Chains A and B, each alone.
Chain A
Amino acid sequence: MADTQTAVQLEHVSRYYTLGESSVRAVDDVSLMIPRGEFLALLGSSGSGKSTLLNLIAGLDRPTSGAILADGQSLAALSPLNLARYRRNTVGMIFQSFNLLPRMTLEENVELPLRLAEVDHSERADRVREALERVRLTHRVGHRPTELSGGEQQRVAIARALVNRPKILLADEPTGNLDSTTGEAILTLLRELQTHLEMTIVMVTHERPLAERFADRLATMGDGKLLGIAPIGEGRAQ
C-alpha cells in the first residue's frame, strides 16, 4: 500500500493489446514505486513499452491487469469522469511534439487546462502569468506556437502542464524534437521545477546520457518488462 511518501506505485501492471489473433504485451508485469519529489527517467528502445507505461500513469489508458496508485488514488477505481479530473488536477503532461494548439496564442494554450478545470476567469490571468514566469516566456505571450522555436514551444507546453499545479509531471520524450543544447536547457528547467515545486517527474527518454545527468533514478524497460532500476547518485550533473 502506498504511503504519503509515495507519488506513484505500480503493482504487477500489464497492458496487452490484441492485434488480430495475437496478443501484444506492451507492458508486462511491471511493479515500481516512485517516491514523492523524485525525477525518474524511463529508458528503453522503441517499442519497449515505456510510453505505454507513462500513458497508464497519466490515466490516458487503463491496465489489462495490476494496480496503479497515484497520489493515493487507485486509478482502476476511478470513473471515466474522475479519471479526467485526475488528469486535469494531479498530473501534467508534456510531449515530444509539444502538442500546442496552433490557432491559439501562447497565453491561450497555457490557459486551456484552466478552462477545462472551470477555474474562475478573474484568477486565470495570474495563473497563466505565473506559469509563464516559471518557464521564462512572459515576453512572447501574444505569439502563436508556429512563431516560436522548438525549445520555446516545449517551454510553453511545460507552462501549460504546470498551470493547474499538478503533483506529478509526466514527460514523453520532451527533448526528442530538440537539438542537444535546447534539450539540455529544457531538462535543466524540469530539474528546477522539481526542486522548487517539489514535483515528481517521470520522463520517458531514449537518451541515456541526458537522463543520467538530470534524473534521480533510471528505470530501463525492454519488451514491456522492467529490466532494472538504478539510482544515479553522484553521477548527476548539476
Chain B
Amino acid sequence: MKPRDLTDLAVRNLREAILRNALTTLGVAVGVASLVAMLSLGVGLQQLASKRLSQSGLFDTIFVTPKNSFRGMGRPQREVESDKPPRPLDDDARVELEKLPNVIEVYPQVRFFTEVRFNNKPYATMVAGMPDSSRNTGAFDGMQGSFFSSSAANEAILQIEFAKDLSDKPASLVGQELTLRYAERQAIPPAAGDEPPGAAETSGGFSVVPKELRLKIVGIVETEPAAGYGGYGSARLLMPLQTASTLRAAQVNDLRDIVRGNTSNRITYPALSVRAKSPSQVETLEASIKDLGFNAFSLLDASKSLRTFFSVFDLLLGIFGSLALAVATLGIVNTLVMAILERRREIGVLKALGAADSDVQQLFFVEAGVMGFLGGIFGVVFGWLLGRAITFGTNIYLKRQSLNPIDLSSVPWWLVILALLFAVLVSLGAGLYPASRAAKLNPVDALRYE
C-alpha cells in the first residue's frame, strides 16, 4: 500500500477505539514528558552553569604573567635559556598582546592589599580594579546599587561579606563614602650617591608613599568575577580599573622587583588579562602568547571536564526519564494485541481482498508509529510545561531566599526532535510483535471469526 493510504487507514483504525488508543497515546505522552522534563532540567542546568562561567570571563580570558614570576622565587630557575633575563610585562608587551589576532582587550591585573577606613575603623582588604567590560559579564547582574558610573570614577563596589563587616545593614552602605589608604609607588629622579644606602622608604628607583583616596560606595555584589584567580586571593573591594591604575599603588611585583634589583622606573604589570573573542580561540591565542615569551594559562580544561560531567548527568537523567516511556511501550503492545483480537475478521477481509502479509504488518506498524508520534508531540508539550512549572516553583523558593531567579529548564530544538524520534522508534519497537502476529494470521480462520 502507498504510505498515504497506510496512514489514512491507520488513523481511521485508531479513531475507531478512540478511548483506548487515546489512553495509550497519553501513556506515551507521559513517558516522553518525563524524559523531556528530565533532559530539559539537565540542559537548563548545563546552560546555566556554562552561561555563568562564560560570563565570568574565566573561559575566554588568558592570564599572562612574566616568565619566572614571583611564584618561582626560591626555586631553581626552570628555564634552560635563563641566561637571558625574563621578558618584563610592561606597556610594550601590552601593546604587542593587543595586536594579536582575536584579542578583544588586554587589561592589567591591578590588585593590592590595603587598608580601608569606614566610620573611623580600619579594615584590611584586597582591592581589585575592574575593567569596564566586566559590566556585561553577568557577575554584576542582580547587584544592589549600580555599576561604576564611569571607568575613572572614584567609586567602589563592595563584596557582600565585606559590606557585612562594615555595617549590619549592607544595603544602607550604597551612597556612603569610605577612605582607601594605600601605598603609592613614586619614582625618584636618579641622583647617584645622594641617598644613604639601605634607606627605609627607598630602594634606589622608587619610593613608597602612603596616600588616601575617598571612594563612594555605588553597589554591593555577591562575588567578585574571576575571584581568586591568578593566585592573589579574592578581592572584597572593587573599583574602576582606570582609577585603580592611576593610584600607582605598590603591588606584589614591586617587592619582586626589589628582590631582583630591578628598580627602574618602568611600570611592569604582575599579570595581564587577555580576552579572546570566544572561548574556542583561547587555545591558539594561548600558544601565540607563549611564543612571545610569557607564561599564559586559561581555565579551558576545567570547562571541558564540566562538559563531560553534564554529559554523564544528562545520560542518567535520560535513563530515569525513559523508565516511564518503557512502561508506556507495554501499553502500546497491549493495545495493539487487543486490536488484533477485535479486528481479526477485518484482517481476514483485507487478506481476501489481496492484502499481503507485509501490508497488514505495515498497517499495525503505522498505527503504533502514529500513537508514538502523537504521544511524542503531547509529551514534548507536557514536558516543557513540567520544566516551566519546576522553574517557576524553584524561582518562588529562590525569591524567598532573596536570591536571583534562574532559568532552570531549557527545551532546545534538538531535544524536541530527539524526543519525537525516540517516541516513534520506541513505539515502532513496541509494534513489532503485534504487527508480525497480525500479519501471520490465517485468512481462512480470520474470516470465520465472529
Contact = CB atoms under 8 A, between A and B. Distances in A.
| Genuine A/B complex | yes
Interface of A: 55, 58, 60-61, 80-81, 84-85, 87-89, 93, 95, 99, 101, 103-104, 112-113, 115-118, 160, 164
Interface stretch (B281-289, B343-351, B402-410): B343-351
Nearest to B450: A97
Contacts of B5: 115, 118
A81 B9 contact: no
A103 B12 contact: yes
Interface stretch (B177-185, B250-258, B356-364, B419-427): B356-364
Interface string B190-217: 0000000000000000000000000000
A115 B352 contact: no
Given A87-B351, A115-B2, A61 B444 contact: yes
B130 to A, nearest CB: 70
A29 B248 CA distance: 116
A88 B447 contact: no
B302 interface: no
B353 A60 contact: no
Given A103-B12, A115-B1, A118-B1, A84 B346 contact: no
Contacts of B12: 103-104
B412 interface: no
Contact of B354 (A61, A85, A95, A103): A85
B444 A88 contact: no
Contacts of B350: 112, 116
A116 B1 contact: yes
Contact of B357 (A61, A80, A118): A80
B16 A84 contact: no
A58 B352 contact: yes
Contacts, number: 65
A93 B352 contact: yes
A112 B355 CA distance: 10
Contact of B443 (A60, A81, A89, A116): A60
- Tell me whether chain A's interface is mostly helix, strand or loop, or mixed: helix
Interface of B is mostly: helix
Contacts of A93: 352-353
B345 A81 contact: no
B354 A84 contact: yes
A116 B349 contact: no
A87 B447 contact: no
Given A55-B444, A115-B2, A115-B9, A103 B352 contact: no
Contacts of A61: 443-444
A160 B356 contact: no
Interface of B: 1-2, 5, 9, 12, 15-16, 345-346, 348-359, 443-444, 447
Residue of B12, B345, B354, B355 most packed against chain A (CB within 10 A)? B354
B354 A101 contact: no
Nearest to B439: A80
Contacts of B357: 80-81, 84
Contacts of B358: 81
Contacts of B348: 99
13 contacts: A60-B351, A61-B444, A87-B352, A88-B355, A99-B345, A99-B352, A112-B350, A115-B5, A115-B9, A116-B350, A116-B359, A118-B1, A118-B2
Contact of B353 (A55, A80, A81, A87): A87
B2 A164 contact: no
B355 A116 contact: yes
Given A118-B1, A118-B2, A60 B352 contact: yes
Contacts of B9: 115
A46 B9 CA distance: 36
A113 B353 contact: yes
Nearest to A166: B354
Given A87-B353, A87-B354, A99-B447, 11 more contacts: A80-B357, A84-B351, A84-B356, A88-B353, A88-B354, A93-B353, A103-B12, A103-B16, A115-B5, A118-B1, A118-B5
Most buried by B among A61, A80, A87: A87
Given A101-B349, A115-B9, A118-B1, A164 B447 contact: no
Contact of B356 (A81, A89, A95, A164): A81
Contact of A84 (B2, B15, B355): B355
A214 to B, nearest CB: 23
A60 B444 contact: yes
B203 to A, nearest CB: 96
Contacts of B443: 60-61
Contacts of A112: 350, 353
A50 B349 CA distance: 19
A233 B354 CA distance: 34
B356 A80 contact: yes
Top 8 A-B pairs, shortest CB-CB distance: A88-B354, A84-B356, A115-B5, A87-B354, A99-B349, A60-B443, A113-B353, A116-B354
Contacts of A55: 444
A88 B193 CA distance: 118
